[in-house]
């Protein structure tokens, strides 16, 4: 969502894939420490967008290198499984069951929205100073809450864009990059060609807020600033600009660009429809690139930024940032703190980070010195979308507000909620947090 999850956010493999508990023990003694790493979902791993076989190969290589340098550690058990939407529930269940957790693979979305507020993480502000200069400062900011650093980003840097079928756009004479009016005018052409204009992974609920980030940037003129005043109680989540953001999302549906069928489509379905030519576009993050390169065989794909919508006071801004990180659990035994920090430091070494980040073909990376993609699409995005990228709002919202927003958007897209009712439901979620004493967060 990042989004979040990231988006997220993020930001990956289909929810519900097989559990992956990865262990490396090469060349280590049986009496050494075992570092227990917990991920709330199957996305919370190194190289999360690779095939399971390639992912295991990469992680085993990383673990083997660390164990060779740290004989006091005998194994690394990395347990990450389940769908992204259940990340918090899975972690809370593990905590309640007193499951041993030393490190947490911590998406920026959950770190900001729930993990810190619920006391699940240990601050590491001073601990990372010896190696903090290896990490992009903006990326580190995604894991900084109330001035304290709670995690180190070990991820690609994302932005958001619309992916499109180049040949189809040329055939139907659709301009690139298109304005919103160009997309609206193209709908009859696309439908006549038997093609869905734009499909979203709507059944993957945490991905809906990405649409709000884009719309709210334009309706408010300052999405981050307005969100912060909402959270401070100085403004509301159902003010005119907030309601307008839901109206703008609804406009995509009413104008026939965004298919309401998206509500029943998951990530795999969205990708498959695009790769097979059944849909002309889909909206997502730059984490989609490896999948596109693997699955799209019969045409060329391109990207363009979410367009400006008529009459809005704000300019287009696109959600993005450093999606995934690694954090210390608040319950880590003191005897394991030093080796756990050594493992985090090891993951930030450029040559190590390149092992797990380079296969992701990053347009940008949170660790300095990691090779980045030099394809045309990557250069274009670094020149255009990245300068207009802002932090995913679900890295700022508490998770309850993020969940309420996601459900509200689905209601608007499906026609069950008006934009006003959608915004009211988000404000109600915030009011409940305050009334229950769960907001603002305690230092």
Q: How many helices (H) and strands (E) does the chain have?
A: 16, 16
Judged against a pLDDT cut of 90, whether residue 141 lies above it is answered with no
pLDDT tens sequence across 198-210: 999 999 998 999 9
pLDDT tens sequence across 7-45: 433 333 333 333 344 444 333 334 689 999 999 999 899
pLDDT at 5: 40
Share of the chain above pLDDT 90, in %: 74
Find all residues with CB under 8 Å of 273, minimum gap 6, and list them.
196, 199, 265, 279, 282
Residue 86 within a domain: yes
Position 289 confidence tier, pLDDT thresholds 50, 70, 90: confident
What's 91's domain CATH number?
A: 3.40.190.10
Judged against a pLDDT cut of 80, whether residue 399 lies above it is answered with yes
Residue 412 within a domain: no
pLDDT at 443: 59
End-to-end CA distance of the chain: 25
pTM of structure: 0.75
**How many CB atoms are closer than 10 A to CB 305?**
20
> DSSP strand E in 133-195: where?
144-145, 148-149, 151-153, 157-158, 160-165
Residue 202 within a domain: no
DSSP string, 369-399: T-----SHHHHHHHHTTGGGEEE-GGGTS-H
Domain extent, residue 46, equals 20-158+321-374
Residue 176 within a domain: no
Give me the mean pLDDT over the 167-173 stretch. Answer: 98
Residue 429 within a domain: no
Average pLDDT, the chain: 90
Task: State how many domains the chain has.
Answer: 1
Residue 270 within a domain: no
pLDDT at 377: 87
Residue 109 within a domain: yes
Residue 443 within a domain: no
């Amino acid at each position: 969502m990042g989004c979040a999850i990231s988006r997220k956010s993020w930001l990956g493999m289909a929810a519900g894939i097989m559990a992956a508990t990865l262990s490396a023990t090469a060349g280590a003694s049986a009496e050494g420490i075992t570092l227990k790493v917990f991920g709330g979902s199957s996305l919370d791993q190194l190289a999360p967008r690779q095939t399971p076989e390639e992912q295991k190969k990469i992680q085993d290589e990383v673990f083997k290198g660390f164990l060779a340098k740290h004989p006091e550690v005998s194994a690394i058990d990395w347990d990450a499984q389940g769908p992204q939407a259940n990340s918090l529930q899975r972690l809370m269940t593990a905590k309640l069951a007193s499951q041993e957790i030393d490190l947490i693979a911590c998406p920026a979305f959950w770190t900001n929205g729930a993990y810190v507020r619920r006391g699940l993480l240990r601050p590491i502000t001073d601990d990372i100073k010896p190696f903090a200069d290896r990490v992009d400062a903006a990326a580190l900011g995604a894991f900084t809450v109330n001035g304290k650093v709670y995690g180190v980003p070990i991820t690609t840097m994302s932005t958001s864009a619309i992916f499109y079928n180049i040949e189809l756009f040329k055939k139907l004479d659709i301009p690139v990059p298109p304005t919103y009016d160009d997309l609206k005018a193209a709908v009859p052409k696309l439908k006549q060609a038997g093609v869905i204009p734009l499909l979203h992974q709507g059944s993957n609920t945490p991905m809906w807020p990405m649409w709000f980030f884009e719309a709210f940037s334009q309706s408010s003129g300052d999405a981050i600033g307005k969100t912060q005043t909402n959270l401070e109680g100085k403004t509301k989540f159902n003010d005119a600009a907030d309601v307008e953001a839901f109206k703008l999302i609804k406009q995509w549906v009413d104008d026939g660009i965004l298919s309401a069928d998206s509500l029943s489509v998951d990530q795999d379905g969205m990708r498959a429809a695009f790769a097979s030519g059944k849909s002309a576009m889909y909206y997502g993050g730059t984490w989609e690139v490896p999948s596109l390169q693997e699955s799209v065989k019969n045409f060329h794909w391109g990207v363009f930024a979410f367009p400006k919508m008529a009459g809005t006071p704000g300019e287009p801004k696109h959600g993005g940032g450093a999606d995934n990180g690694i954090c210390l659990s608040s319950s880590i035994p003191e005897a394991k703190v030093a080796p756990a920090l050594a493992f985090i430091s090891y993951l930030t070494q450029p040559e190590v980070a390149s092992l797990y980040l380079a296969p992701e073909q990053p347009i940008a990376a949170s660790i300095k010195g990691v090779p980045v993609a030099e394809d045309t699409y990557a250069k274009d995005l670094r020149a255009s979308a990245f300068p207009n990228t802002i932090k995913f709002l679900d890295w700022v919202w508490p998770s309850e507000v993020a969940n309420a927003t996601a459900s509200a958007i689905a209601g608007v897209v499906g026609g069950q909620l008006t934009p006003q009712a959608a915004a009211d439901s988000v404000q109600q979620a915030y009011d409940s947090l305050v009334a229950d004493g769960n907001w603002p967060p305690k230092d």
